[in-house]
Amino acid sequence: MRKVAGIFIVAVFVPCLVLAWLAIRSLRDQQFLVERQRSLLHQGVTDSAAQQVAGLLAARQREFSQIVEEFLAARPAPQAAAAFDDHLRTIWPASKVGFVVTTDGELVCPQRNSRPEARLFSADNASFLANREAAEVYWMNSVVLNAQQMPLNTSLNNAPESAAQSAEPATASVTFDSTAGASPAKSQKFSSVARAITPQQMPALPGNVVAADAGLQNYSKVAPAQAAFHQLIGDAVEGVVSRFVNDQLNVLLWYRSPRDDRHIFGAQLDLSRFADELRDRLPSWMPALQQEICLAILDDRAKPVALSHPDFVGNWRHPFVATEIGEILPHWEAAVYLLNPDQLSQSAHAIRITLGLLIAALIVAVGVGGWLIVADLSRQLTLARQKTDFVSNVSHELKTPLTSIRMFSELLADGRVSDPARQQSYLQIITAETARLTRLINNVLDFSRMERGEKKYDMRDCDLAALVQQTAESYRPHLESNGFRLECSLPDSPIPVRGDCDAIAQVLLNLLSNAEKYSNGTKEIAIDARVLDGSSPCAEVRIQDRGLGVPRGCEQKIFEKFFRAHDSLSGGIQGCGLGLTLARQIARAHGGDIHYEAREGGGNCFSLRLPLGTDHNGSA
C-alpha cells in the first residue's frame, strides 16, 4: 500500500506541483506581455495623434502659401507688402499677425503704427527677422513638412540615438552652410532638455542600451538651434520656425513666392484657434478606444490644450504613454491617460485569481482523485483480504460439520454404539450438523444469486407471527441443546405481510444464528413481533441477545459482505461474514430493512421491519 502511494506521489502529484509552479512563473510573463501589448497599442495612438497634429499644421502652412500666392496675383509685392497684416487678418483667422521681411533684413510689415498685437510682434521678433541677432529656434523646412528627412546639417532628430549610445545627456548641433547667403555660423551644441512629463510606459529601448541608460529616454528628442532667420531659410521656399519669446511659444509660418523671391511673407499662428480646431478633431482620431482612454494634446508646460473627453481630469505630468509632436510644436505632447487607471492591475489581478483558481482546482482534483484511488485500492485490498478470510471461514465451516457427521456415522455404521440413547444422541448431532451445513450452503448460493441478480422470490400473503413462531420452534431444540434460553413474545392476532416465506424464515434463522455465535457466555435470546403504527405502519420482529455487542463505528459495516466485527478463527466464532448481508438484502427486496441498535444492559438488538400486507390495510 505504501509503495503504491509513493509511486502515485512521484508519478502524478509531484509533476502536477511542478506544472503549477511553471504556470505561476508564466503568469508573471503573461502579465508583462499584456501590459506591454496595451502599452504598444496606446503608444500607437499617441504616435498617430502626433502625426495628425503635425499634418494639420502642415496643412495650415499650405493654406498660407496659397493665400500669399493669391495676394501677390492681384498686386506686386513691393506695393502690397505694407498692407499684408491687415489683409491676412481679414481672410485667414488662423493667423495672429502677418509679417513681410526682405532678404536684406528689412521688416516691411507690420509697421510701427500698426495695431497693438502687431507692434508687440515687432518688438519681440524684429531683431531676429531682420538678422540683427541669432535666437534659439526650432526649425522645419518644406522638405520636412512633406515627411522627408531634414537636409540641414543638423542632428536635432537624433537625440534618442545619442541617448542610447552614451550615458551623458544627448546633444544636438547645427552647422549652417555658407552658400545660404550668410557667413558661416559657428557650430552650437545644446543639451537635450528633460521632458515636462514622465510617461508611465516608455518605448522599447534598442538592444544595445543597458538598463542604466533607461533614464535618458525621458529627454526630449527636440533640441533648439542658435541661428539667425536668414541662416534658417537659406534657399528654401517655405517652412516653419518655432521659438520661445518671454516663455511663450511663437510658431512662425513663412513662404517665399516665385513671383518675388526678395520678399518673404510670414504669419504668426494663433495657437488658441489651432487648439480649438484640435478639440473638434480629437475625438475622431480614436473611436475604437473612446471608452478606454482619454487622448490629450499637452503644451510645453504639460497643460492640456485639447482633450478627447473634456470633463476628464488627471495627473497631466504622468500620462500612461506620450509622444512628442516634434520641432513643429516643440515640447508639445500627444498623451494618453487611462480612464480607469486600475484597469491594468485589475486585469492582472483577475488573471492571477483565475489561474490561481485553476491551479488550485488542478491540485485539489489531483489530490481528491489520488485519495479516491488510494481509498478504492484500500477497499479492494480489504475486500480481497475478506474474500481470503471468507474462503478460510467457509472451509472451516464446511469441515467442522462434515467431520462430525463422518465421525458419528462411522460409529453407528460399525456398530460400536449399542446404547439406544447414545445412538439417538448421535443421530440428533448428525441432523443438527446437516441443518447447519445446509444453511451455510444456502447462504453462499443465495449470495451468489443475488450478486448476479438471479435471485427470485415467491411472493404471497403470509402471517408473520405464525412464521416467526414456526421458525423459532424449529431452532429451539438446537439452541436448548447448547444451553440457550429462548423467549418468544408473539401476539395472538396474525400479522399479515406479503413475501417469500422461505426467504423471511432464512432471515430469521440468520439472525438467531448470529445471536447464538456472539453470545459471549450469556445464553439468552429473546424474540418478539409487533405492529408499529404511525405514518408508515409496518411489522417488526426483534431478536435480542446479551452477546458481545458491535464495536463503535461498525454499526453499518456489519451489513457489508465478508465483514466480521470479531473476525478471528482463533476466537472460536463460526461464520463466513454473509449472514447479515443476506438478511438485509432479502429484507430490502421485500420493501423493508434490518436495523441494529445496542440493547440496554448490554447485547444486541436486530429489528426486521416489513410493510404490512393488504389484509391489515383492508381491515384498517
In the predicted structure, residue 219 carries a pLDDT above the cut 70: yes
Residue 216: predicted pLDDT: 53
Using an 8 Å Cβ cutoff, are 312 and 302 in contact?
no
Phi and psi based region of residue 361 (left: phi greater than 0; alpha: psi -120 to 50; beta: remaining): alpha
Band of pLDDT at residue 409, cut at 50, 70 and 90: confident
Dist CA 186 CA 600 (whole Å): 118
- Residue 363: what pLDDT? 77
Q: Where in the chain is the domain with CATH 3.30.565.10?
A: 456-619
Please say if the pLDDT value at position 489 is more than 70: yes
**Residue that wins the pLDDT comparison between 119 and 217:** 119
- Give the pLDDT confidence score for residue 151 in this predicted structure: 35
Average pLDDT value for residue range 122-148: 75
Read off the pLDDT of each residue in 293-311 and give the average, rounded to a whole number: 91
pLDDT > 90? residue 174: no
Instruction: State residue 601's pLDDT score.
Output: 84
Q: Which residues contact 27 (CB under 8 A, 6 or more apart)?
A: 351, 352, 355
Q: What cell was used for 288?
A: 475604437
Lowest mean pLDDT among 128-132, 137-141, 276-280: 137-141
Query: Alpha-carbon distance 343 to 39, whole Å?
Result: 13
**Which pLDDT belongs to residue 367?**
77
Check whether the bond before 184 is cis (ω within 30° of 0). Answer: no
Sorting pLDDT into bands at 50, 70 and 90, what band is 179?
Answer: very low
| Structure confidence at residue 572 as a pLDDT band (50, 70, 90) | low
Q: At what angle do helices 501-517 and 420-452 cross, to 10 degrees?
A: 110
Exposed / middle / buried, residue 531 (Cβ in 10 Å: 0-12, 13-18, 19+): middle
Convert the pLDDT of each residue in 344-370 to its tens digit: 677 777 777 887 788 788 778 877 877
pLDDT at 283 over 50: yes
**So what's the pLDDT on residue 466?**
93
Grid coordinates representing 249 are: 511659444
127 versus 214: which is more confidently predicted? 127
E runs forming strands in 113-218: 135-141, 171-174, 188-191
Distances (CA, A) of 341 to 117, 308, 318, 344, 601: 43, 17, 12, 7, 75
> Burial code of 397-418, b = ≥16 C-beta within 10 A, e = fewer?
beeebeebbeebeeeeeeeeee
Confidence of residue 149 (pLDDT cuts 50, 70, 90): very low
Percentage, residues of the chain above pLDDT 70: 80
Confidence of residue 394 (pLDDT cuts 50, 70, 90): low
Name which of 54-63, 155-164, 323-332 the model is least confident about.
Answer: 155-164
Across the range 233-247, mean pLDDT stands at 88
DSSP for 216-258 reads GGGB-S---EEE-HHHHHTT-SEEEEEEEETTEEEEEEEEE-T
- pLDDT above 90 covers what percent of the chain? 20
**Which helix or strand (DSSP H or E) is residue 524 part of?**
strand 524-532
CA torsion angle 368 372 373 377 (round to 10): 150
The tens digit of pLDDT for each residue in 591-617 reads 999 999 988 888 899 999 999 887 655
Structure confidence at residue 322 (pLDDT): 92
Average pLDDT, the chain: 79
Contact 324, 221 (CB under 8 A): yes
pLDDT attached to residue 551: 85
Q: Which CATH architecture has domain 456-619?
A: 2-Layer Sandwich (3.30)
Question: What does the alpha-carbon distance between residue 129 and residue 140 come to, in Å, rounded to a whole number?
Answer: 16
pLDDT-based confidence at residue 106 (cuts at 50, 70, 90) = confident
What's the DSSP call for residue 513?
H
* Helix, strand, coil abundance in the chain, percent, nearest 5: 50, 20, 30
Residue type, 531: V
